[in-house]
Chains A and B, each alone.
Chain A
Amino acid sequence: MNTFQKFSEKILLEIDKRKIDHVPRWKFMVKNLLFWSAFVIALIFGALSFAIIFFVLSNGDFDLYSHLPPSRFLFFIQSIPFFWLGFLGIFLGLSILFFRVTKKGYRFSLSLVFGVVLGMSILFGALLHLNGESKDLERFLSTPFRDIYPPSEDRRKDRWMNPQEGFLAGDITQKSKNTVEIKDFLRNIWEVDISDADIIPGPETLDENRIRVIGRVEKPGKFIAEKVLPWEKPKGMGNHNGFGMFFERRPPPKETSENFPYF
């Protein structure tokens, strides 16, 4: 017996002495499965974050930023969904981490994993948003953080409850040719004169339940509209207009005797 053999015997004796056994194969399989599951869950939360970011940005009133107080810069800063960007960052980081600790995850470079995870989050997030799920998602996921970070919808309502500044929004209760009656978020009733207003993107806006109005207060309860817009951007893939959804869609020119001979 040479020293080479002695060492292997010594190891086996030590194993017997410490009563060490093989770790069962199923434990390794479960461990790997857990890492993959954690990766998928983190990826799902990343996609949910993206869907909410899409929703917040697409409903961020960017189409009217020139009208909005107090300054454009401040408005942009207030419109960036930092909370959800942070949420996204955490879950992107976790999904990368969980992927890297899977059995063969180390073989892929960090930049490649980051790119793929980011791409998948954007893709699934965009699909959720285009499918109209993002608003409910934000409301649901915001619930535990409501005190520190109210849903964008609530912050937006605050912005549009400023009739003295020229911003009014509410639900249509009645409508006629030149006026609509709306109930604002504090349940006040307003008669809105729309006879000279641009209705964006078109007359169908008045078929919406909730609208935004830019204009001025003529007297208590009476508002003269300059622009009327839907509260929400159209839902659904067919109604979206790519990045155009962030910007003002001009209505068709009004029909007058000059451009419409049958007027």
Chain B
Amino acid sequence: MIHHFSEIPDEKVAFQARTQKEAFAELVDRYESRLLRYITRISSLSSAEAEETLQEVFIKLWQNINEYDQEQKFSSWIYRIAHNETISAFRKKISRGEEQKLSIDDEMVQKVCSSISVEKEVDENITKEQVHSVLKTIPEKYKEVLVLRFLEGYSYGEISDILSVPEGTVATLLSRAKDAFQKTSKRRKFFNFFSFSS
């Protein structure tokens, strides 16, 4: 039996994955690279550790597929599993006394740069290295919302579903993340003034 899932939305494929391994494999194929990138963005896990975490994410997906409610966006649901598994792996790593800082890739720096609308007083010679160094110093809890908002492109509602917090908390976290970014950059005198584009 040949299955063609390419035109079928995730939510329906997830429903079929309850009974069909092919549908489950399709979900793995669709989310493998996105989730791997997400895991590495929000954690300091090595690529091998991130892949191991990703494997656990899909195993959790297989186990809990009956819990999935089709009213909810599938991507938010699987990102929540990935978030929880990554946090769990990250905490294990911390408990072993290993490196705690989150990694920041070039794409993140690029996206954050483009989301900052630089205005008149800004030093026009902002470098990626400067943004990178600011991002490295802001608290990790803020980085995750920045990743979900600016890199993964999720709405407040979707971020709320992924992080299991109210939408108001998402807005607060994002606002604080921006403030933290602003304060750090001011302290370092990279920018005299800037604001994030919405």
Give A contacts to B, CB under 8 Å. 4-5, 7-12, 14-15, 18, 20-25, 28, 103, 106-110
Contact check, A14 vs B29: say whether CB atoms are below 8 A apart: no
Contact check, B32 vs A15: say whether CB atoms are below 8 A apart: no
Enumerate chain B residues within 8 angstroms of A107, measured Cβ to Cβ. 160, 166-167
Which of B29, B59, B69 is A4 in contact with, Cβ under 8 Å? Answer: B29
Q: How far is the CB of B164 from chain A (nearest CB, A)?
A: 4
The interface size bin for chain B is 20 to 34
Enumerate chain B residues within 8 angstroms of A10, measured Cβ to Cβ. 55
Q: How far is the CB of A33 from chain B (nearest CB, A)?
A: 14
Contact check, A8 vs B25: say whether CB atoms are below 8 A apart: yes
In the complex, whether B63 has a CB less than 8 A from a CB of chain A is yes
Contact check, B62 vs A8: say whether CB atoms are below 8 A apart: no
Contact check, A109 vs B168: say whether CB atoms are below 8 A apart: yes
Contact check, B29 vs A106: say whether CB atoms are below 8 A apart: no
Q: List 11 A-B contacts (CB under 8 A).
A: A7-B29, A7-B32, A8-B25, A8-B26, A8-B29, A10-B55, A11-B28, A11-B59, A22-B18, A22-B63, A24-B66
Contact check, A22 vs B66: say whether CB atoms are below 8 A apart: yes
Contact check, B59 vs A5: say whether CB atoms are below 8 A apart: no
Enumerate chain A residues within 8 angstroms of B67, measured Cβ to Cβ. 23, 25, 28
In the complex, whether B191 has a CB less than 8 A from a CB of chain A is no
Enumerate chain A residues within 8 angstroms of B28, measured Cβ to Cβ. 7-8, 11
**Given the contacts A12-B21, A20-B59, A23-B64, A103 and B32 also touching, CB distance less than 8 Å:** no
Interface centre among A18, A22, A103, A108 (most CB of B within 10 A): A22
Cα distance A24–B64 when bound, in Å? 8
The residue on A at minimum CB distance from B17 is A22
| Number of A-B contacts defined by CB within 8 Å | 63
**Given the contacts A8-B25, A12-B24, A103 and B69 also touching, CB distance less than 8 Å:** yes
In the complex, whether B90 has a CB less than 8 A from a CB of chain A is no
Contact check, A106 vs B32: say whether CB atoms are below 8 A apart: no
Contact check, B166 vs A4: say whether CB atoms are below 8 A apart: no
Cα distance A109–B28 when bound, in Å? 33
> Beyond A8-B25, A11-B59, A107-B166: 14 further Cβ-contacts under 8 Å?
A4-B29, A4-B33, A5-B25, A7-B32, A11-B28, A11-B55, A15-B62, A22-B64, A22-B65, A23-B66, A24-B66, A106-B166, A109-B168, A109-B169
Contact check, B66 vs A25: say whether CB atoms are below 8 A apart: yes
Enumerate chain A residues within 8 angstroms of B29, measured Cβ to Cβ. 4-5, 7-8
Cα distance A109–B26 when bound, in Å? 36
Enumerate chain B residues within 8 angstroms of A9, measured Cβ to Cβ. 25
Contact check, B63 vs A4: say whether CB atoms are below 8 A apart: no
Q: How far is the CB of B82 from chain A (nearest CB, A)?
A: 14
Interface centre among A5, A106, A108 (most CB of B within 10 A): A106
Cα distance A108–B160 when bound, in Å? 10
**Given the contacts A7-B32, A107-B166, A109-B166, A20 and B62 also touching, CB distance less than 8 Å:** yes
Cα distance A110–B165 when bound, in Å? 10
In the complex, whether B142 has a CB less than 8 A from a CB of chain A is no
Q: How far is the CB of A254 from chain B (nearest CB, A)?
A: 61
Enumerate chain A residues within 8 angstroms of B21, measured Cβ to Cβ. 12
Chain A proximity mask over B7-28: 1 for CB below 8 Å, otherwise 0: 0000000000010010011101
**Given the contacts A4-B29, A5-B29, A24-B66, A11 and B58 also touching, CB distance less than 8 Å:** yes
Cα distance A18–B63 when bound, in Å? 12
Q: How far is the CB of B27 from chain A (nearest CB, A)?
A: 8
Cα distance A112–B176 when bound, in Å? 22
Q: How far is the CB of A132 from chain B (nearest CB, A)?
A: 40
Q: Which of B157-198 contact A (CB under 8 A)?
A: 160, 164-169
Enumerate chain B residues within 8 angstroms of A12, measured Cβ to Cβ. 21, 24-25
Contact check, B160 vs A14: say whether CB atoms are below 8 A apart: no
Interface centre among A4, A11, A24 (most CB of B within 10 A): A11
The residue on B at minimum CB distance from A28 is B67
Question: 4 closest pairs, A vs B, by CB?
Answer: A8-B28, A8-B25, A25-B66, A106-B164
Chain A proximity mask over B144-167: 1 for CB below 8 Å, otherwise 0: 000000000000000010001111
The residue on A at minimum CB distance from B168 is A109
Cα distance A10–B59 when bound, in Å? 11
